[in-house]
Chains A and B, each alone.
Chain A
Amino acid sequence: MKYLMAICGCLLSLLVSTSALAASPSEAQQPLLMQLTEVKLSKALPVLQQLEASTGADMMPLFKTMLAGKLYYVKESRSLIVVSKEQGETRYTGLFSAAPRDDLSKKQVKKIKVNNKLRGYLRESIARMQLHHSDPEVRVEAVRSLFSDLDAPTVELIRTARLDEQSRSVQAVMDVALAMDRAEHSEDATARLQAVKALYGSLEPAVRNQLTKLAENDPSGSVRKAAQKGLDKIAKQAERYNFVNQLFFGLSLGSVLLLAAIGLAITFGVMGVINMAHGEMIMLGAYTTYVVQLMLPNMIEYSLWIAVPLAFMVSGLAGVLIERLVIRHLHGRPLETLLATFGISLILQQLVRSVFSPLNRQVATPDWMSGSIEINPLLSLTLNRLYIVAFALLVFMLLLLVLKKTSLGLNVRAVSQNRDMAKAMGIRTDRVDAMTFGLGSGIAGIAGVALSQLTNVGPNLGQAYIIDSFMVVVFGGVGNLWGTLVAAFTLGIANKFIEPVTGAVLASILVLVFIILFIQKRPKGLFPQKGRAAE
């Protein structure tokens, strides 16, 4: 919703400002605007009210800028101006003209102060203007923002707007607002009862507050009862949506785990090698994203499309190097390999620390990934998480395809089942090893790109995920991609469902303990490789 709002806001201000360019505020308002720069904070409200009454929607950019605290005036000319900060640079633009005013400096302008009371008024006033906006989504939002303060004039405003409202969804929201008003102010108990019943389907927090109030204070018993029933219904709904919400969070954590663990599953499954530097491959991927955005600051929207293949290559190449230089020489000595790769992980961490500083770096999220889809007031799914779930599944499918359909995949599977036999059949196992390791590391790099959209990027990024990834692989059963998938989502969802009960830290402890115990019962994981080959 925020996302839509933002876009609409942009469009709107663009629209208004361009139209305002042609017809800047008439002479009548000029004194009022001048007044705004002169009055004290406490006297500003009536000026704003007059402005709203006289011009209506034309004042939208003024109100918005003021609400955002960006409204300034030039000391000499008393003309209003927008001061915004973008990436550390202060920019001056005219309020109604959007023309840059580079001639100004900090000393020449003064801020127009806003307090909470004014902000409240501004917000409502904007909503009132938006009630007549052309986009129904904006109108819905406008009505909802009025929910918290339904005084008589506002209700009147909504009632008149309702009369010539065409959109169903806007009508529905408006009806809720009117019903809320009736439920509170109507003298007639039956009318209140009717109104309460009309509120049943709504999940708005404001409706809930009002029903709670009614259930406690209403003079009529039947109204109280009805309000209570409504509350129960909301509670039940809330429970259901809460469940869905947790499930979604679980899925999103699960997909992050899947991305992080799946490369590990390949290297461990095929080569029997525990790569302790796997976390650092993830970190490299994340830093690749950071560097891409640094290099192409104007292409943030496309940066991920560039970063994904690039991260795959960077991490993959690093993986191949590690395999060729170190792991190859430790073949058949898994514990030593573990130690050596741990050493590599230390080196990589320190390297990144030296090159990029030990501080966390923020990676920008492209607009198309930020924001959320609001399904109803109780349930909204953030877009970045939604994309990551889809992305993880896509990567998983691609990997499955590579392993099942390509000759590399055939070789990899052959080597994982019987290394000596594969060698005897003429498969160059050392080459397959290098490719496998590169593939696993490359996928870790992709995971890094995804992670950079969820958290800050720092040298310890990989460390945070490595133990969890190991748990996923061990839990799922080594050498089984489907096992990894099931394990990742199981652990992710389990974690998110335990969390509200016990808190995040205890939840991850419980999951770890559970896996330790699980491994006792089934040392080979959920989906063990069976048969004599596995002996």
Chain B
Amino acid sequence: MSVLETTREVMRRDQVWPFLQDNETQVDISHQVLLYVEGLNLSFDGFKALNDLNLYINDGELRCLIGANGAGKTTLMDVITGKTQCDSGTVYFGQSINLLNKDEAEIAQLGIGRKFQKPTVFEAHTVMDNLELSLKSNKRVLPTLFASLTGEEYDRIDEVLETIGLKGERMLLAGSLSHGQKQWLEIGMLLMANPRLLLVDEPVAGMTIQEGERTAELLTSLAGERTVVVVEHDMEFVRSIARTVTVLHQGSVLAEGSMDDIQNNQDVIEVYLGEAP
């Protein structure tokens, strides 16, 4: 490449210089698959928590994970979000991003949000502050020290408050919310970050039926634009939202399909109801 060409390339007016661009990593979803989990193994003291687990999540999908206690649901989420190191296997986000060599913060910044089984919000902060902290923003130390909310960000917070129905409680301390409200707030915190992939662990535990219904509505409305993976024990709830269900058993996938398929699947019946006669 000649000097002239290089100069011309550098001086092109329709492009922003690469180092000035937001260095946000783009998730490559050219094959419509957002998450690849392949051959995952993990054992604790000889107990195989994950056993050659393979799972593919399509972009924009709403997937339910079910399985008995100890089937590996939460452990799987731990591995995806970087909390636990696995023994072997690969986890890819899109085509190119290897999640296994990243830590929790990096993975979160890539756009993977996680909701815990037990609602964890910052109790000493107001609802508003909780959401502010979850904003998609530069999360390094110095920028955070000098950060202040812009008008757009205020609007965004309002919007999320509306979605999770906590508009009236914005100045309340999160610690004084009810259990269900905390669950909602946590979902709201995930939404603030504008994630590509939401991992939701037992969202309706401890909620009333009405709250559960609203949660179901919210999750279904999120799917499409975002990808949602839900772990849940409540079969009614799963039936009400699920298009595809994956059954985990002893650390690997037992069956996958629609809710009806799963209910008629011989293996699943055996595992859940004991040996077939």
Contact = CB atoms under 8 A, between A and B. Distances in A.
A532 B45 CA distance: 9
Contacts of B45: 530-531
Contacts of A532: 44, 47, 49
Interface in A491-535: 530-532
A530 B84 CA distance: 13
B82 to A, nearest CB: 15
Interface of A is mostly: loop
Contacts of B49: 532
A532 B44 CA distance: 7
Contacts, number: 8
A532 B48 CA distance: 11
A530 B44 CA distance: 7
Interface string A89-105: 00000000000000000
Nearest to B75: A532
8 contacts: A530-B44, A530-B45, A531-B44, A531-B45, A531-B47, A532-B44, A532-B47, A532-B49
Interface residues of A, number: 3
Interface residues of B, number: 4
Contacts of B44: 530-532
A532 B43 CA distance: 10
A529 to B, nearest CB: 9
A532 B75 CA distance: 10
Interface in B28-51: 44-45, 47, 49
A532 B49 CA distance: 9
A165 to B, nearest CB: 66
A40 B47 CA distance: 90
Contacts of A531: 44-45, 47
Interface in B232-247: none
A531 B49 CA distance: 10
Interface of B: 44-45, 47, 49
A349 B44 CA distance: 45
Nearest to A529: B45
A457 to B, nearest CB: 44
Contacts of A530: 44-45
Q: Which 8 A-B pairs have the closest CB atoms?
A: A531-B44, A531-B45, A530-B45, A532-B44, A530-B44, A531-B47, A532-B49, A532-B47
B250 to A, nearest CB: 15
Interface string A42-62: 000000000000000000000
Nearest to B78: A535
A70 B146 CA distance: 84
Interface in A2-58: none
A314 to B, nearest CB: 40
A59 to B, nearest CB: 76
A227 B49 CA distance: 70
Q: Which of B44, B47, B49 has the most CB of A within 10 A?
A: B44
B263 to A, nearest CB: 30
A531 B43 CA distance: 8
A15 B45 CA distance: 69
Nearest to B49: A532
A530 B47 CA distance: 11
B114 to A, nearest CB: 16
A358 B36 CA distance: 69
B77 to A, nearest CB: 13
A531 B47 CA distance: 8
A511 to B, nearest CB: 30
Q: Which of B45, B47, B49 has the most CB of A within 10 A?
A: B45
A531 B44 CA distance: 5
A531 B84 CA distance: 12
A505 B45 CA distance: 41
A532 B47 CA distance: 9
A125 to B, nearest CB: 73
A165 B45 CA distance: 67
Nearest to B74: A532
Nearest to A530: B45
A530 B43 CA distance: 10
Interface in A120-144: none
B277 to A, nearest CB: 35
B123 to A, nearest CB: 16
A93 B102 CA distance: 86
B201 to A, nearest CB: 15
B31 to A, nearest CB: 35
A115 to B, nearest CB: 74
Given A532-B44, A532-B49, 6 more contacts: A530-B44, A530-B45, A531-B44, A531-B45, A531-B47, A532-B47
A144 to B, nearest CB: 59
A531 to B, nearest CB: 4
Nearest to B44: A531
A255 B44 CA distance: 33
Interface string A213-250: 00000000000000000000000000000000000000
B79 to A, nearest CB: 13
B72 to A, nearest CB: 11
B42 to A, nearest CB: 11
A532 B72 CA distance: 12
A530 B45 CA distance: 6
A161 to B, nearest CB: 70
B68 to A, nearest CB: 15
Nearest to B83: A535
A530 B49 CA distance: 13
A480 to B, nearest CB: 13
A532 to B, nearest CB: 5
A523 to B, nearest CB: 14
Contacts of B47: 531-532
A527 to B, nearest CB: 13
A140 to B, nearest CB: 58
A499 to B, nearest CB: 39
Nearest to A534: B44
A417 to B, nearest CB: 12
Interface in A292-308: none
A357 B238 CA distance: 73
A128 to B, nearest CB: 71
A483 to B, nearest CB: 16
A530 B87 CA distance: 14
B10 to A, nearest CB: 45
B69 to A, nearest CB: 11
A381 to B, nearest CB: 41
A376 B49 CA distance: 59
B274 to A, nearest CB: 25
A363 B45 CA distance: 48
B104 to A, nearest CB: 15
A377 B262 CA distance: 83
A488 to B, nearest CB: 25
Nearest to B70: A532
Interface in A341-394: none
B175 to A, nearest CB: 17
A479 to B, nearest CB: 14
Nearest to B84: A535
